[in-house]
Amino acid sequence: MKILFLTQTTDRGPSSRVRGYQMAEALRQLGDEVTVLPGISEQSYHLVYGTSFIPFKVGGYFVAWIKRLLQIKKMKQFDIVVIQKEIFPHFYPLVEKILYRLNIPYVFDFDDALFTRGGRPNWLPKILKRAAGVTVGNAFLEEYAHPYQKNILHLPSCVSLPEQIASFSDETTCLGWIGSRSSWKHFMMIWPVLKNLLRYKHNISVAIMGDRLPQALKNDAQGRQIEFIPWTLDQEERFLQGVDIGLAPLSESAWSEGKCAYKTLQYMSYGLPVVASPIGVQKELVQNYSNGFLAQSINDWEEKLNQLIGNKKSWKKLGLSGRKKIEENYSFDVQAPRLKQFLEECVSKK
């Protein structure tokens, strides 16, 4: 089967990397011929996501739109097209409409609550109705899609399982968080707890990996045991292997309910115990006293972190339990064959 993935970005974008590039490679291992074409190139990425200057963003999107239009001829060469979120970032679904009229079957994949965005209430239902099938990252998204499309595959986001899991520190406890600039608001929810722990406990540190440290946090973090590591794909593995406890706070909102808990999946794949907000997929992933703790209030966060910090003997047990859950339910070895079968069924119904 010849499959084309149309991703939002290159593998630099987390969603495109996980549900596009890495899933495409897993399908290749199963014998399919898979091509991935990103909308936003590596050169345009910093224009779209690395600046708040509107003319630069518009320029980056304009390049993506032109490139997508030029790719339409290539799409006829494939048995099926998998669209990862919008094929035209932040634009009316023009190309999806063209695919539909050319009788090229497409599957629409989304792992965010796109329908909570304002200003474009009708574009997503139209895409879902015209698709040969839809893949969603969680039950919350599936519930939204069901009135518009009956052929739905609940396909959780997956992680590549590292060969080497985290090596826990004997002397200090490293609390780790990884995320993008859009996630800083979630981290700041628990920053007062972390500041308090850093003030009264001398055997802990906080490690943060992201694209840029906010100035407010930079000023507040001076003189504390805090390390900031700029995100790169190469550094990500080293960072996760050096953390003792993974932090996954989420604020309560419809957008958060639609998240697929990628950072939590990463922590657990490295055998880390996790403390997470009981929002969305994280309620399914994290089980108290089994692979980590769920914490809702600020008091919960402080209590659960104190339990883990003072009980290093439990880290390995919790971490291995979490790793097993990822192996059994959230690995590409488990989920790629399900997607392959789903795509084959979509092609057969053409």
Question: How does pLDDT run along the chain (350 residues), one tens digit per residue?
Answer: 999 999 988 888 889 999 999 999 999 999 999 999 988 877 666 666 666 666 766 777 777 778 888 888 888 899 999 999 876 655 657 778 888 888 889 999 999 998 887 655 578 898 999 999 999 999 999 999 999 999 999 999 999 999 888 888 777 899 999 998 888 999 999 999 999 999 888 889 999 998 877 777 777 766 678 889 998 888 999 999 999 999 999 999 999 999 999 999 999 999 999 999 999 999 999 999 999 999 999 999 999 999 999 788 899 999 999 999 999 999 999 999 999 999 999 999 87
- Among residues 320, 42, 95, 303, the alpha carbon closest in space to that of 196 is found at 303
Cβ atoms of 95 and 118 within 8 Å: the answer is no
Q: Which domains does the chain have, with CATH numbers?
A: 2-158+332-348 (3.40.50.2000), 173-329 (3.40.50.2000)
In terms of phi and psi (left: phi > 0; alpha: psi -120 to 50; beta: otherwise), the region of 191 is alpha
pLDDT at 45: 67
| Rg of the chain taking only CA atoms, in angstroms | 21
Mapping DSSP to helix (H, G, I), strand (E, B) and coil, where does residue 87 land?
coil
**Among 324, 229, 313, CA closest to 269:** 324
The Cα–Cα gap between 277 and 279 comes to 6
Secondary structure class of 155 (helix, strand, coil): coil
Separation of alpha carbons 292 and 302, rounded Å: 14
Give the pLDDT confidence score for residue 91 in this predicted structure: 60
State how far Cα 106 lies from the chain centre: 22
Q: How far apart are the first and last CA of the chain?
A: 14
Closest CA to 153 of 336, 333, 325: 336
- Beta-carbon contacts of 221 under 8 Å, excluding residues fewer than 6 positions away, are 213, 228
C-beta of residue 154 within 8 angstroms of C-beta of residue 260: no
Read off the pTM: 0.91
In three-state secondary structure terms, 54 is helix
Write down the pLDDT at residue 69: 81
- Of 288, 280, 286, 276, nearest to 326 by C-alpha is 286
**H/E element, 126:** helix 123-130
According to DSSP, the β-strands at 274-276 and 152-154 are: unpaired
Between helix 42-49 and helix 54-70 the angle, nearest 10°, is: 140
Question: What's the sign of the alpha-carbon dihedral 164, 169, 170, 173?
Answer: negative
Q: Residue 239: its pLDDT value, please?
A: 94
Torsion of CA 109, 113, 119, 123, to 10 degrees: 30
| Per-residue confidence (pLDDT) for residue 121, from 0 to 100 | 57
